[in-house]
Amino acid sequence: MVKAATRPHLADQVLKKCKTGIKGVDEITYGGLPKGRPTLICGGAGCGKTVFAMEFLYRGASEYNEPGVFMSFEENSDELIKNFSSLGFDLPGLIKQKKILLDYVFIERSEIEETGEYDLDGLFVRLGYDIDTIGAKRVVLDTVEALFSGFQNENILRSELRRLFRWLKTKGVTAVITGERGEKTFTRYGLEEYVADCVILLDHRVNEQMATRRMKIIKYRGSLHGTNEYPFLLNKTGFSVFPITSTGLNYKVSSQTISSGIKSLDSMLNNVGYYIGNTILVSGSAGTGKTSVVAHFVDAACRSKKQCVFFAFEESPNQIIRNMKNIGIDLQQWVDKGFLTFSANRPTHFGLEMHLLNVHDFIRTHKPEIVIFDPITNLITIGSKIETKTMLTRVLDYLKMNQITSMMTDLHEVGGFLKETEIGISSLCDTWIILQNNEENNERNRYISVLKSRGMKHSNSIKRYAITDKGIQIAKSSQMEKGGI
Binned at pLDDT 50, 70 and 90, residue 120 comes out as: confident
Q: Verify that 212 and 297 share a domain, yes or no.
A: no
Give the range among 172-186, 265-279, 453-467 with minimum mean pLDDT: 172-186
- Are 158 and 297 in the same domain? no
Residue that finishes a domain, picked among 241, 275, 306: 241
Domain identity same for 230 and 272 = no
Same structural domain, 261 and 237 = no
Q: Is residue 251 in some structural domain?
A: no
Query: 195 pLDDT band (50/70/90 cuts)?
Result: confident
Q: Which residue has the higher pLDDT, 210 or 136?
A: 136
Is a pLDDT exceeding 60 seen at residue 106? yes
Q: What is the pLDDT of residues 76-99, one digit of tens each?
A: 999 999 999 988 899 999 999 999
- Find the domain containing 167 and state its range: 17-241
245 CB-side CA count, 13 A? 8
Let me know if residue 64 belongs to a domain. Answer: yes
* pTM value > 0.75: no
- Least confident residue range of 145-154, 270-279, 290-299: 145-154
Cis peptide before 409 (omega within 30 of 0): no
Is residue 24 located within the same domain as residue 104?
yes
Question: What is the pLDDT confidence band of residue 13, given thresholds at 50, 70 and 90?
Answer: low
Residue 113 CB contacts under 8 Å (≥ 6 apart), including other chains: 150
DSSP per position, 428-439: G-SEEEEEEEEE
Confidence of residue 334 (pLDDT cuts 50, 70, 90): very high
- Weakest-pLDDT range from 47-56, 239-248, 395-404, 433-442: 239-248
pLDDT for residue 296 = 97
Across residues 339-351, what is the average pLDDT? 79
Of 191, 181, 186, give the one whose Cα is nearest residue 151: 191
Domain final position from 212, 241, 270: 241
Q: Do 56 and 39 contact (CB within 8 A), yes or no?
A: no
Specify the pairing of strand 138-142 against strand 174-180.
parallel
Same domain, 372 and 280: yes
Residues 145 and 81 in one domain: yes
Measured between alpha carbons, how far is 288 from 399 in angstroms, rounded to an integer? 27
pLDDT of res. 438: 85
Q: Are residues 135 and 277 in the same domain?
A: no
Question: Please, which pLDDT band fits residue 478 given cuts at 50, 70 and 90?
Answer: very low
- Top-confidence residue, 394 or 255: 255
Question: Is there a domain that residue 11 lies in?
Answer: no
Read off the pLDDT band of 483 (50, 70, 90): very low
Q: State yes or no: pLDDT of 479 exceeds 60.
A: no
- DSSP helix/strand/coil, 25: helix
136 or 401: which leads in pLDDT = 136
Residue 468 β-bridge partners:
471
pLDDT per residue over 378-434, tens digit each? 676 656 677 777 778 878 888 888 899 999 998 876 544 455 555 567 778 899 999
DSSP secondary structure letters along 354-365: HHHHHHHHHHHH
pLDDT of residue 11: 45
Closest CA to 375 of 337, 336, 422: 422
Whether the link from the prior residue into 368 is cis, omega within 30° of 0, is no
**CATH code, domain carrying 421:** 3.40.50.300
Q: Is residue 9 part of a domain?
A: no
Q: How far apart are CA 462 and CA 460, in angstroms?
A: 7
pLDDT band of 274, cuts 50, 70, 90: very high
Pair 295, 416 in one domain? yes
**Does residue 440 surpass a pLDDT of 80?**
no
Pair 300, 258: CB distance under 8 Å: yes
Confidence of residue 134 (pLDDT cuts 50, 70, 90): very high
46 Rama sector, left if φ>0, alpha if ψ -120 to 50, beta otherwise: left
Q: Provide the pairing of β-strand 340-344 with 308-312.
A: parallel
Of the residues 209, 241, 273, the one at which a domain ends = 241
Residue 480 belongs to some domain of the structure: no
Asked if 188 and 154 touch (Cβ cutoff 8 Å), the reply is: no
- SS3 state at 347: helix
What is the rounded average pLDDT for all residues in the chain?
A: 83
Q: How many separate domains does the chain show?
A: 2
Q: DSSP 3-state assignment of 208?
A: coil
Q: How confident is the model at residue 481 (pLDDT cuts 50, 70, 90)?
A: very low
The verdict on 375 and 345 lying in the same domain is: yes
Q: Are residues 123 and 152 in the same domain?
A: yes
Within a domain: residue 166? Answer: yes
Q: Are residues 282 and 156 in the same domain?
A: no
When pLDDT is averaged across residues 232-252 and rounded to a whole number, the result is 70
Query: From CA 405, how far away is CA 279, in angstroms rounded?
Result: 6
Bridge partners, 214 (sequence order): 203, 231
Cα–Cα distance for residue pair 16/174, rounded to 1 Å: 11
